[in-house]
Amino acid sequence: MTQLILPGHPDFTPTLEAAPFFWQEIQRDKCQTISYVVDSESGILRPVEEDDLEEYMLGGELEEVLEQQEDEEEFELFFNQIKAEMEQLKCQTSAF
């Protein structure tokens, strides 16, 4: 029985590193037009055909992924701002 290995699983990175160098050629044989999109639920890239790509872009999933990325960027900016303020406070208190 085959299992799906997701990020966070101990076997994920070794499996990814052991992918055959010709995986893209195999993928091209299965489908002529390949595009990779970010899955909105898992964040993992997945291959899609041309019709699926159009549905991805016009059906709202692309917008959902972009909103998630914006939220992450806003959080990172906020975190970096707090970190900088903490460093300033640390420098000010060490001056005494």
* pLDDT on residue 77: 84
Q: Is the pLDDT of residue 67 over 60?
A: yes
**CA atoms of 95 and 74, how far apart (whole Å):** 32
Q: Is the pLDDT of residue 25 over 80?
A: no
In one letter, which amino acid is 62?
A: L
Instruction: List Cβ neighbours of 96 (8 Å cut-off, separation of 6 or more).
Output: none
Coil, strand or helix: which one is 38? strand
**CA atoms of 84 and 12, how far apart (whole Å):** 34
* pLDDT on residue 24: 72
More confident: 81 or 23: 81
